[in-house]
Chain A
Amino acid sequence: MIKLGENTFWLSGRTGITARAAVAGPIEGKGPLGEMFDKVYKDEKCGQTSWEMAEGQMLSDCLDTILVKGGKTPQEVDLLLSGDLLNQCMSTAIATRDRNIPTLGLYGACSTMAESMCIASLIMEGAATRNIICMTSSHYCSAEKQFRFPLELGGQKPKSSQSTVTGAGGNMLTWDGGNVCITAVTPGCVRDPGVTDSNNMGGAMAPAAATTIATHLKDTSRPPEYYDMILTGDLGELGKEMCGQLTMELGYDISKQLQDAGTMVYAPEESINTAGTSGCGCSAVVLNTVILDKLEKGELNKVLFVGTGALHSPALLNEKQPIPVIAHAVSIERR
């Protein structure tokens, strides 16, 4: 592993993805990824008594699926990196309790999937670890409750607003395993573009995504064409367009490669009044279903996965502070 340019860590490429899982709620289940989920819940409560417990249950089921698909016992897992949107990483605590797996809790808002894969691959290069699990979750109902208003409150949202994905996704990284590997990571810097509108997260996160993408391309001396796809986490329609423009202003034309996970989860009729989806689960379920599936089959060869996060806190917003944002890039390639 070497440090390259401004912020990029160039890896040996021996860290592979050997198992992946994604579970989702009923609306996501009816979307274009429906068939690819390991489990689709019949209702949002997931058999639990509260939204928080429901999210914990999803993450717990996701962990079980990764272990089964990877053929590993908890004892064989060296480390578990997990995070979510809820206060004190509630879902992670619920899903990992009594698991007997060393766990590090993360908070990177909706960038958590990319953040966990960044940290896991760096640890793999430097330490004697064999298997690390990365995972994250979000739930529409628990996120609305914590960050916005009660579900049944009758109000309106502007078209730029995004819906939190109800779902959990994760994968297992194994040293010298799998045919898809991580070749470089570019952790992002926290940006403050000055946006205060919590219904325009895409617009707020676009500068973070653009600078991380441009930094990665510059550090690695790779042209945008090197990648078959540059997948941002949850910018939505509006943020995706702004990200494309901003990256162009930084000197890179990524219009052919740029895709956004926030536009891939809902069926078209569900997304009429929103700019797309968001949440930790958004990029996690897209990456761990369709994207990694295509990489494994060879339909895609090189993907730059850019998890985007709005480090939004209701308290900070009430104090008239702008929304801090972040984006981390993970270069995923077929061996």
Chain B
Amino acid sequence: MLIDWLAIAPEIALTVTALLVLLADLNLRGQAKQLVAGVAAVGTVVALVFTLILWGDERSTFGGTFVVNEYAVVFKVLFLGSLLAILGISWRFFAEGRYFQGEYYFLLLTSFIGMIIMPSARDLLLLFVALETVSIPAFIMAGMRKRSLYSSEAAMKFFLIGVLSVALMLFGMSIVYGFTGTTYLPDIAASIAALGTVDPLLAAAIMLVIVGFGFKISAVPFHFWAPDTYSGSPLPVAAMLAVASKAAGFAGLLAIAFIAFEPVAELWAPVLGVIAIVTMTLGNLVALQQRDLIRLLAYSSVAQAGYMLIPFGLARSGAAQVNDAAVQAVLFYLIAYAVMNIGAFGVAIAVHRRTGMRSISDYAGLASKSPLMAMAMTTFLLSLGGAPPTVGLWAKFAIVQAALTDVTGFAILLMVFLVINSVIAFFYYLKVVKTMWMDSAPEGLPALQPGFNLSLVVFVLLVGTVLLGVLPGLVSDATSLTGLAVG
């Protein structure tokens, strides 16, 4: 079997970088160890360049189970961009925290290898491998603050639940294989369509697979690990889990739902729709009660997952226009979400560095001490809420647009919940904004010293949030792809 090397060049580049990082960490001593961060960043840029070269190409290899198309490339750019940003906000955190830097960067890169495989995978097995490659390094990273009980608890919870969900998913996949006799996603679709009626056992298997991804994207009721894990993990890891890992889950879920199980969309769409409603509502209501900023962001990210599930609830088998609109909405939302949420975590890391705390009241008077950081945080939070002129507005817009492509009663119900939840969400985002600008700062606190890398990342993300808020076309042109099902 001939392998299309260019198609897998980004993955190879990242793998080589990961190994280099590991080698460098073994051989370098003392301060020189900090070079690994640079190596990781350079490798990521190389992978990114390879990915961009692939833009516009249609390639497939490994017998069609690994495809590169515009859809996959958009996802890969999203992941690699996130990786660069996370590297930027990690550096100082790990350099100062006396953590295990080499291991951290190796694990981070490995996890991202899994992520960039995910949108290309067209086979249940490859999807599974990709998902595990994302998860297993993440389990270790969550527990990196070895001396902290919370970190150990975070890793333990994350691990147990991650393993449980994967087991469920594998179980489901095996039953699907039993019914269809294939693991190749387009063939599964054809087989299921040929079956005509859906056996209850097959329906249950489909649900199991979807539930497996439900854990990954922290949808209610599979979300309860997320707040504990986010707040216990090192902050850059929390950012990675909240954004990149979640996006990977969505990439897998999109492939499973819209390719393999597209013929039975009537079966899973209502289920995911209801999960969307419950997820956003519960996420927002619980977020209202939070006093710890990281937990607030965690519950907000649960709610955001709920918004991103709305388009899944709209899916209908055979309705290409609706399904395309749904996929585009999810894709655009994920990009917007990555920009604004990593930004918010970046500012949280900067504030954390000063006080070692992360209660919302620590943000009091941030505006008077560090106006630029406060302005950036304000923009990110308003964007998460969906206020103009930020990219968050267009993310919500894309969802509403998808819902109204072909209106159904259920779509209207979903919209009503979206509206109510958007308003609730502003309540707690504004609470933080108010604390930063309108409460007076405690005496004697120094200004933030976020460091160059983190400032640069936050600045770039801030510009991105506003620029995409004014010209969403820069991204929406790339995400307005049709025909995900082209295997």
Note whether A and B form a binding pair.
Answer: no
- Listed in ascending order, the chain B residues whose CB lies under 8 Å from chain A are none
